[in-house]
């Protein structure tokens, strides 16, 4: 008998508007500025020093994966792993009519993932969860919900 792992949600229709990741070139375009046991900090060499982009990658082991879900069939081992990527970008606003005008606005985004140490959890499983997370940031028509969210409108509204 073979065992299968699957998600049991059924709302899996693709949006017509696709999201395309960028080729950041983490190995070629970034300098490692800090490399401790569980964290690497990278600085984008293509960005000027006064408008840096920083990426932090963190990993760690967990004694137990904390969740709000009720787990009726827990594994015998509760051990897990957590990893996250944080990006810090600087939005620079200038005025072509005023050479002295400049306003910098930092933007920070994090994605943190934690899960049990299980052979059933692989790249495709995590990719499914991450794509669903990104989908929660969009309307059904594929447009982003950020303008709603930045106004504290956390409840979804019809398109």
Per-residue pLDDT tens over the stretch 94-137: 999 999 999 999 999 999 999 999 999 999 999 999 999 999 99
> The domain containing residue 49 runs over which residues?
25-66+75-118
Please tell me the distance from the alpha carbon of residue 145 to that of residue 132, in angstroms, as a whole number: 14
> For residue 114, is it within any domain?
yes
CATH number of 57's domain: 2.40.160.220
The answer to whether the predicted template modeling score (pTM) of the entire model surpasses 0.75 is yes
- Count of the separate structural domains present in the chain: 2
Could you tell me if 79 and 43 lie in one domain? yes
Could you tell me if 83 and 106 lie in one domain? yes
> For residue 34, is it within any domain?
yes
pLDDT at 155: 79
Could you tell me if 127 and 112 lie in one domain? no
The single residue listed with the structure tokens 């879900």 is: 69
Give residue 147's Cα distance to chain centre: 18
């Amino acid at each position: 008998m073979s065992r299968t792992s699957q998600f049991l949600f059924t709302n899996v229709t693709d949006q017509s508007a696709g999201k395309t990741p960028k080729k950041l070139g983490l190995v070629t375009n970034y300098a490692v500025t800090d490399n401790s046991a569980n964290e690497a900090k990278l600085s984008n060499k293509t960005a000027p020093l006064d408008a840096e982009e920083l990426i932090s990658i963190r990993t760690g082991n967990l004694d137990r994966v904390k969740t709000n879900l009720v787990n009726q069939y827990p594994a015998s081992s509760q051990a897990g792993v957590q990893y996250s990527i944080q990006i810090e970008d600087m939005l620079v606003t200038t005025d072509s009519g005023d050479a002295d005008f400049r306003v910098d606005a930092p933007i920070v985004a994090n994605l943190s993932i934690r899960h049990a140490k299980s052979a059933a959890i692989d790249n495709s499983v995590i990719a499914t969860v991450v794509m669903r997370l990104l989908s929660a940031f969009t309307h059904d028509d594929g447009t982003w919900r950020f303008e709603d969210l930045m106004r504290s409108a956390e409840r979804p509204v019809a398109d």
